[in-house]
Amino acid sequence: MLILIPYFLALLSVICAAVIHYKMPNEFFKATAIATTITVFSSVFCLFLFQDNLLEMAPEGVTASIPLQTFLLAAGLSTLYGVLIALLVGYFVKAIRAMNA
């Protein structure tokens, strides 16, 4: 089950970016910022949820706290990922709208 978490996060990012860009067609960069923020918060939430074993899914005796460097690296990488996904999905939604107009 833990192996599927990145796929769920990627699907959440794509769906969130598509919905936000569809609802806000004239505010492209604001929609990108909102979708990126949601992606970063969901990624950091999952990091804390599964790293600290809050769901008790890790093997017995495995507990680890998250050092600050690891947290900053995860937040930075998920921010970059969120921006890329939001921009690409936003341009895709914009192109589909232009074709249908």
Q: Give the number of other Cβ atoms within 10 Å of residue 36's Cβ.
A: 24
Domain ranges within the chain, ordered by starting residue: 19-54+65-100
pLDDT tens across 11-53, in order?
A: 999 999 999 999 998 999 999 999 999 999 998 888 777 776 5
- Whether 98 and 63 have beta carbons less than 8 Å apart is answered as no
How far is Cα 46 from Cα 63, in angstroms, rounded to an integer? 15
pTM here is 0.80
Contact 37, 85 (CB under 8 A): no
- Give residue-wise pLDDT tens across range 42-67: 988 887 777 765 555 556 655 556 67
Q: How many Å separate Cα 47 from the centre of its chain?
A: 12
